[in-house]
Structure 1
Amino acid sequence: MSSVLLSAVFSVHLSALAQEVPKLRQGMTYSEARNLLIEEGWQAVFNMEQLNNPNRSGVIDRFIEKGYTEVVDCSGTGLGLCLFQFQNATGQSLFVTTANNDSEGESTVFGWRLEAGVADSASWGRQITWQRGHCSD
């Protein structure tokens, strides 16, 4: 009896994790991806830490000026990737990574990952589900 109950609880928990991520694609513009996520019920997670950071980079400043206050951070070297956080009604967090974040063009989706039970960007240790961005139609 208890094993049946445990199986039922476990199955419900796994089905909650299986929520589909909207049809993100590598290379789509971040503004397009952001609009798609918001239309699908994901909420941009307001990052007060970056908003109050007097030493934030110019790239982060540009995102905040655009109203993209969900920016978690940007790399200052290499590909110059930036990370953005969204959350749905069940508490899942979706992190979107962008490339081409210079001032010359529009940032594009580089990849994404889905995490369950993460309330904010400081809770990295509880990753449950990992999804890499991939090209799809």
Structure 2
Amino acid sequence: MRLLITATSFAIAIVMVGCNQSANSNTALENHRSTPSNDRTTVAKPLSPSSDNPNNSSQANNIAQSNTTQANTVQGKQAEQSQSTAILDGRYLVGHTGQGLEVEGDRYRYTDEEGEQPWRSITELTAIKKGVIYDGNSHWCLNTMKSREQVGSCSKEGWVIYQPSTPESTSLKIPALEKEMTYEQARQLILDAGWQPLVTTTDNPQDGTKPWRDRGYDEVSSCSGTGMGFCRFEFTGSGDRKLVVVTGGSESTLQQWWEE
């Protein structure tokens, strides 16, 4: 009998413990559900344009118009610059000689008294400014820039007219020339100093001066044609003043100069 009561009491105790554990578990679960989670991410609502400020739309339009104006201005300047440095079609001249340069589309060729040379790629030419190009040796000007009445030649600035000597030119000085500089460089310094090319002629087309004359350098008076290939160029000031320049060597660079 005692044994039976003891077993019964033990069973009741087990049931009560189980009920308590279940109640505690349910209470914890409810607490968890009712407690806000700190790990939840708060999603911000997108801001809508304020209807209280009617200037927003006007300001946006002004900004858009300003950006469009600036873009058009930049494009206009780029187009103008591209046009000003483009190589125009036509006939170009280096000086008052029979030699010319013809540009047609993406090609060019040289022309002289003997005829026309083969076409070459226009990529070999450099546009200096509108109507002026450079072929690596000389500047060429569009023939519309040439003066028919006065002697001149093409420079990087355009067509240059040789001015007649004046009494004031007695103060001419020999520029700071340097040996081995190219004749083109020396010639430009001489012209800038106020000297004028002394144009000469020759009855002998084989005297070695033709390549220079074809390039518009009519101031060449003679070339040796052998050895160092010396060539003599002459410039004049007022009165009897004369500046002599001599080139030579494989590159025809400046060798000597003096005043006569």
- Is 2:243–2:259's contact at 8 Å kept on the other side of the alignment? yes
Q: Percent identity?
A: 34
Q: 2:202 matched to 1:56?
A: no
Deviation (angstroms), 1:91: 3.0
Aligned counterpart, 1:41: 194
Kindly tell me: are residues 19 and 43 of structure 1, through their superposed partners in 2, closer, same or farther at Cα, counting changes over 3 Å?
closer
Q: Secondary structure at the match of 1:109?
A: strand
**Amino acid in the other structure paired with 2:236:** Q
Counterpart selection for 2:223 from 74, 77, 89? 74
The answer as to 2:108 corresponding to 1:108 is no
Is there any run of 5+ residues in structure 1 with no aligned partner, and where?
A: 1-15, 116-137
Matches of 2:258 and 2:243, distance apart in 1: 6
- Report how far residue 77 of structure 1 moved: 1.8
Greater Rg by CA: 2
Distance 1:96 1:114 in 2: 9
Match of 2:194, SS? coil
CA contact (8 A) 2:173 2:193 kept: no
Structure scoring higher RCO (CA < 8 A, sep ≥ 6) equals: 1
Distance 2:184 2:238 in 1: 22
* Contact kept? 2:200, 2:218, Cα under 8 Å: yes
Aligned pairs for 1:1-137 within 5 A: 20-48=173-201, 50=202, 53-57=203-207, 59-100=208-249, 105=251, 107-115=252-260
Which structure features the higher share of strand residues?
2
Q: CA RMSD in A?
A: 1.9
Q: Write the distance in 2 (CA, Å) between the matches of 1:109 and 1:54.
A: 24
In the alignment, structure 2 segments of 5+ residues that lack a partner are 1-169
Q: TM-score, normalised by structure 1?
A: 0.60
| SS across alignment from 2:190 | helix
Task: Give the structure 2 partner of residue 133 of structure 1.
Answer: none
Distance 1:34 1:76 in 2: 21
Question: Which digits, 9 at most, give the CA deviation of each residue in 1:21-58, with x for residues without a partner?
Answer: 1011100100010111011100000002x2xx24333x
